[in-house]
Chain A
Amino acid sequence: MERHYMDSKIKGVSTGTTILAVTFNGGVIIGSDSRASMGGNYVCSKTINKLIQVHDRIFCCIAGSLADAQAVTKTAKFQISLHSIQMESPPLVKAAASVMKELCYNNKEELQAGFITAGWDKKKGPQVYTVALGGMLLSLPFTIGGSGSTYIYGYTDAKYKPDMSREECLQFATNALALAMGRDNVSGGVAHLVVITEGGVEHVVIPGDKLPKFHDE
């Protein structure tokens, strides 16, 4: 595929995407779509997984330039494992998020990627952190990101409640992803969801034809 769209803000392959992370009672769900596109016209991959495991109970998901995201997450994974070995205990989610933030902030000129880090640790339980494009770190009960997220701000503002059950939270995340994928042309494919709790990690994949359908479909 020779044509590169120079007027697109992100050169090369981008995960124009929808990502989200939501805390519930006892855990956190992190989710994303699965489309990687180039220039808004060509879908490079229909089944890419944007949920990257950086430690046993910590995942992060990426939005923006795929190359940048892969580079940052590889480095972060290494640094977090080293930190965890030195401390002789599993890392805190905040530590993982801070590692991502340091990498994003110190390289803010070159990088074009935003991250959501979510996980479970013994100290504070389920947490969600977002690292924005310039390197800002925020802790939130839930967060959405990527190009498709603009279409679901209203939906998530209206529907989120604190302390949901696991099933309610799965339904909320699935609905939000389906709505965003329905309106954003650079998000699509399947919905990847990872449920992280004290007991472990469960990866749920919902194929495109099993996603919830809304009134005009």
Chain B
Amino acid sequence: MAAATATRFCQQLSSVSDMSPDWTAKEVSTGTTIMAVEYEGGVVIGADSRTTTGAYIANRVTDKLTPIHDRIFRCRSGSAADTQAIADIVAYQLGFHSIELDEAPLVQAAANLFKASCYRYREELMAGIIVAGWDKRRGGQVYTVPVGGMLVRQPVSVGGSGSTYIYGFMDSNYKPNMTKEQCLHLVSGALSLAMERDGSSGGVIRLAAISESGVERQVILGNQLPNGQLPREKDNHRIHTTIEYTHHVPVCKIQALNSICW
């Protein structure tokens, strides 16, 4: 018994896990919540700001909204290393393409470049990316390239680990043809709900509105999170319009039944 304990003790002394916390061996991941919405004239994108390695928050003020061209941004989720590497490659390719054409690149071109890299190296990579921006041919567009390398254009898209918690909120609150202010409100409300429920999302909310006139960036700090509720006038520090959010749906023909069926 004593001999067995001694060997176990020796083994523990020499193992790495005792000397340092387990997150030092974990890969850096942007377990996250990202969201992008199209509106007439541009797009609004948003993300949280937490980067984790296992249980340790490596960066609590990360900027996950990175520009790849003047009016094209991408939101990244998944492995931090993979998304940074792809972004560098695509930014180079896109810059080159834009110089060759002598005009601003299309958002669809940027999205296709991401898809090409993500699909070719799908076995090695773990990256989910939302590409959003404005170009003069099609206006505001949102393209999503999830893990695996699919490309699809959607009017509103969420991604990252925290996105599962806000599908319901997004489905019920998104309506086509919203204004920029309504989109900003939807994105910040949805992100704050996801940050509350997902352990890998948190910190501050970073927002950007991209349109023909340029990019406006905003940060909502932790103590100003809207929490998905309607804004009241007194704590309306940024958005000055009150928006009716309840989605009234008719519950037709409710029937009362006594039978219980298996």
Contact = CB atoms under 8 A, between A and B. Distances in A.
B257 to A, nearest CB: 5
B6 interface: no
B168 A212 contact: no
A158 B262 contact: no
Interface in B209-262: 227-229, 246-258, 260-262
A214 B172 contact: yes
Contacts of B262: 45, 48-49
Nearest to B170: A154
Given A171-B249, A213-B249, A155 B258 contact: no
B169 A215 contact: no
B174 A179 contact: no
A210 B194 CA distance: 29
B18 interface: no
B249 A212 contact: yes
A84 interface: no
A44 to B, nearest CB: 11
Residue from A51, A183, A213 with most neighbouring chain B CB atoms (10 Å): A183
A174 B228 CA distance: 19
A136 interface: no
Describe B's contact surface by its main secondary structure. Answer: loop
Residue from A153, A171, A214 with most neighbouring chain B CB atoms (10 Å): A153
Given A49-B261, A49-B262, A182-B171, A154 B194 contact: yes
A154 B195 CA distance: 10
Interface in A152-190: 152-159, 170-171, 174-176, 179-180, 182-183
Contacts of A214: 171-172, 247
Interface in A1-60: 45, 47-49, 51, 53
Interface residues of B, number: 37
B247 A153 contact: no
Contact of B168 (A155, A213, A215): A155
B255 A151 contact: no
Contacts of B197: 153-154, 157
Given A158-B193, A158-B229, A203 B256 contact: yes
Nearest to B165: A153
B255 A204 contact: yes
A164 to B, nearest CB: 12
A215 B154 CA distance: 12
Contact of A179 (B172, B227, B229): B172
A155 B172 contact: yes
Contact of A206 (B169, B246, B254): B254
A198 interface: no
Contacts of B255: 204-205
A45 B260 CA distance: 14
Given A49-B261, A204-B256, A215 B164 contact: no
Interface string B155-168: 00000000011111
B172 A151 contact: no
A151 B168 contact: yes
Given A157-B228, A158-B193, A214-B172, A179 B167 contact: yes
Given A180-B168, A204-B254, A204-B256, A157 B247 contact: no
Contacts of B196: 157
Contacts of B194: 154
Contact of A150 (B164, B227, B257, B258): B164
Given A170-B251, A212-B251, A183 B167 contact: yes
B175 interface: yes
* A-B complex: 10 closest residue pairs judged by Cβ atoms: A158-B228, A212-B249, A155-B168, A152-B168, A154-B169, A179-B168, A154-B166, A154-B193, A153-B165, A151-B167
Given A51-B260, A159-B246, A183-B167, 4 more contacts: A150-B164, A152-B167, A152-B168, A156-B168
Interface of A: 45, 47-49, 51, 53, 150-159, 170-171, 174-176, 179-180, 182-183, 202-206, 210, 212-216
